[in-house]
């Protein structure tokens, strides 16, 4: 057993650290968030140039042969800088599903340009009633001629406004919440009948509500098997969860470092407030929480390629529970220990806190994954 990074992986970590240091000073991030797209195309081009968009894909798919560890390394640094470029929806989710289920033609048409930085994706699965059930999908795709017609609604679709293609989870058969009967479609972001309502999110990302009004797609828009998308989606979402966990560990390290610095320098009653035992103990708990989060993220990263799907799912859910718990503890504690300054927009602390809060809500919160984990563990 060896849990240390290889030389190549260390170089990747250094490069990602450098990228965040150069591009994501806090005031810079504020400017990036305020641009039209909410991220910088030049940063995206640089990520492509550095090979980050292709590093986790197999060589036969046009990638550079890395895997979840490489994703973890960059996501952690992205968390430290609260990076806004759409790596998760485009590379981890979109690219991941195309690599897992796409035909040779789809990989050629979609994955190759994505790796070059020329195509971005969004993943539309959530609906108003779905909560965290990936199979609670009612957007309908009906056969029409050689292709399909999509009608319905999708919500909180990250990066939809900038995505060239939107990967849509639709119901082709079966009743409400049935896992069978779901199909993935690759839909042009500018397709006729597709309307968007764009908005920023609490954590300065961009998302959209999508309405599909008889959107026509060809048979070649189907990604993977008709009626058989669920296992692909579940697996891709578990991978996205593990990537999010890595991002969250980066956020926690950054917010803990900022808090530690603050309590060492902020003086009240004639001493730095870090001299008070009540704050010392809370700070220690923050560090312990961040350590546990890091450990669970590493565990899940190493198990997410396991052959046994139960092992993979337990790993993702276990890590997400830990991230939810630790993220909340570190975030809330950081704000509290910063006092009034912690609740202002001015300091970075509140921005890390908001991102950690939103990460808990994405793809199932702590409670959801605790239930999923316990169901998996008891069944085993």
Partner 1 sequence: MDLAFTPEEQKFAGQVRAFVKANLPADVRDKVKNGKHLIRDDYMRWQQALGKKGWLVYTWPKKYGGPGFTPAERYIFENICAEEYAPGIIPFGTKMVGPVIYTFGSEEQKAKYLPPIRESTVWWCQGYSEPGSGSDLASLRTRAEKQGDHYIVNGSKTWNTMGHWADWIFCLVRTDPRAKPQEGISFLLIDMKTPGITVKPIIMMDGGHEVNEVFFDNVEVPVANLVGRENEGWTCAKFLLANERLGIAAVPQSKRGVEALKEIARAEQDNGKPLIENRSFAEKIADLEIQVTALEFTELRVLSQMAQGGQPGPEVSGLKIRGSEIQQRITELTMEAVGEYSAPYLPGLLWQGSNEEPVGPEYAHLAAPRYFNTRKTTIYGGSNEIQKGIISKMVLGL
> Considering the complex, what minimum distance in angstroms separates the CB of residue 276 from partner 1?
7
Q: Which of 144, 265, 268, 375 binds partner 1 (CB under 8 A)?
A: 268
Nearer to partner 1 among residue 156 and residue 170 (C-beta): 156
Q: Which of 194, 263, 279, 356 binds partner 1 (CB under 8 A)?
A: 279
> Considering the complex, what minimum distance in angstroms separates the CB of residue 245 from partner 1?
17
Q: Which of 195, 344, 375, 377 binds partner 1 (CB under 8 A)?
A: 344
C-alpha 58/C-alpha 64 separation (Å) is: 6
Cβ atoms 54, 64 nearer than 8 A: yes
Binding to partner 1 by residue 10, rule CB under 8 A?
Answer: no
C-alpha 35/C-alpha 158 separation (Å) is: 16
Token pair for 270:
């004639």
Q: At what angle do helices 277-303 and 230-265 cross, to 10 degrees?
A: 150
Binding to partner 1 by residue 27, rule CB under 8 A?
Answer: no
Cβ atoms 96, 57 nearer than 8 A: no
Picking from 168, 192, 196, the residue whose alpha carbon sits closest to that of residue 182 is 168
Binding to partner 1 by residue 131, rule CB under 8 A?
Answer: yes
Binding to partner 1 by residue 37, rule CB under 8 A?
Answer: no
Using the contact rule CB under 8 A, the part of the chain among 106-114, 142-150, 200-208, 218-226 near partner 1 is 200-208
Cβ atoms 169, 125 nearer than 8 A: yes
CB-based contacts of 187, cutoff 8 Å, min separation 6: 150, 165, 166, 167, 168, 194, 212, 215, 217, 221
Nearer to partner 1 among residue 145 and residue 270 (C-beta): 270
Residue 141: φ, ψ to 5°: -120, 115
Nearer to partner 1 among residue 132 and residue 287 (C-beta): 132
Q: Are strands 267-268 and 165-171 parallel, antiparallel or unpaired?
A: unpaired
Binding to partner 1 by residue 288, rule CB under 8 A?
Answer: no
Binding to partner 1 by residue 353, rule CB under 8 A?
Answer: yes
Q: Which of 202, 280, 288, 375 binds partner 1 (CB under 8 A)?
A: 202
Cβ atoms 365, 327 nearer than 8 A: no
Nearer to partner 1 among residue 27 and residue 346 (C-beta): 346
Q: Are strands 147-158 and 182-188 parallel, antiparallel or unpaired?
A: unpaired
> Considering the complex, what minimum distance in angstroms separates the CB of residue 312 from partner 1?
22
Q: Which of 9, 13, 149, 365 binds partner 1 (CB under 8 A)?
A: 365
Using the contact rule CB under 8 A, the part of the chain among 79-87, 103-111, 123-131, 238-246 near partner 1 is 123-131
Binding to partner 1 by residue 332, rule CB under 8 A?
Answer: yes
- 10 Å CB burial of residue 293 (0-12, 13-18, 19+) is buried
Picking from 92, 204, 88, 221, the residue whose alpha carbon sits closest to that of residue 145 is 221
Site size toward partner 1, by CB under 8 A: 48
Using the contact rule CB under 8 A, the part of the chain among 46-54, 140-148, 245-253, 341-349 near partner 1 is 341-349
C-alpha 119/C-alpha 112 separation (Å) is: 9
Beta bridge partners of 352: none
Cβ atoms 15, 47 nearer than 8 A: no
Q: Which of 18, 128, 214, 264 binds partner 1 (CB under 8 A)?
A: 128
Residues of this chain, 53-112, that bind partner 1 according to CB under 8 A = none
Token pair for 102:
């796409």
Residues of this chain, 137-176, that bind partner 1 according to CB under 8 A = 155-156, 176
**3-state secondary structure at position 15:** helix
In the complex, the residues that contact partner 1 under the rule CB under 8 A are 126, 128-129, 131-133, 136, 155-156, 176-177, 197, 199-203, 207, 209, 267-269, 273, 276, 278-279, 332, 335-336, 339-340, 342-346, 350-351, 353-354, 357-358, 361-362, 365, 367, 370-371
């Amino acid at each position: 057993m060896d849990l240390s990074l290889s030389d190549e992986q260390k170089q990747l970590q250094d490069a990602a650290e450098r990228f965040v240091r150069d591009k994501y000073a806090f005031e810079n991030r504020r400017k990036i968030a305020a641009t039209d797209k909410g991220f910088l195309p030049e940063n995206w081009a640089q990520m492509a140039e550095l090979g980050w968009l292709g590093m986790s894909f197999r060589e036969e798919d046009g990638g550079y042969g890395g895997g979840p560890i490489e994703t973890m390394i960059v996501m952690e640094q992205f968390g430290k800088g609260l990076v806004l470029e759409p790596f998760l929806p485009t590379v981890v989710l979109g690219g991941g599903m195309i690599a897992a289920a796409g035909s040779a033609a789809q990989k050629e048409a979609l994955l190759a340009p994505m790796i070059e930085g020329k195509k971005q994706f969004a993943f539309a699965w959530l609906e108003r009633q779905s909560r965290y059930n990936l199979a609670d999908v009612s957007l309908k795709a009906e056969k029409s001629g050689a292709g399909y017609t999509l009608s319905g609604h999708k919500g909180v679709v990250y990066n939809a406004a900038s995505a060239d293609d939107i990967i849509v989870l639709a119901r082709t058969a079966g009743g409400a919440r049935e896992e069978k009967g779901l199909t993935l479609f690759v839909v042009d972001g500018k397709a006729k009948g597709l309307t968007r309502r764009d908005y920023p999110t609490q954590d300065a990302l961009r998302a959209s509500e999508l309405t599909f009004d008889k959107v026509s797609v060809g048979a070649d828009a189907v990604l993977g098997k008709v009626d058989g998308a669920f296992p692909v989606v579940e697996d891709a979402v578990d991978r996205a969860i593990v990537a999010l966990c890595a991002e969250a560990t980066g956020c926690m390290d950054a917010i803990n470092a900022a808090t530690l610095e603050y309590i060492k320098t902020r003086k009240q009653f004639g001493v730095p407030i870090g001299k008070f035992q009540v704050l010392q103990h809370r700070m220690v708990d923050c560090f312990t929480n961040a350590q546990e989060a890091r450990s669970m993220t590493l565990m899940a990263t190493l198990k997410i390629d396991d052959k046994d799907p139960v092992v993979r799912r337990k790993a993702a859910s276990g890590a997400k529970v830990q991230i939810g718990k630790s993220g909340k503890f570190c975030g809330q504690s950081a704000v509290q220990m910063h006092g009034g300054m912690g609740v202002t927009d001015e300091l970075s602390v509140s921005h890390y806190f908001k991102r950690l809060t939103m990460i808990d809500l994405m793809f199932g919160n702590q409670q959801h994954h605790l239930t999923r984990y316990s169901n998996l563990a008891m069944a085993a």
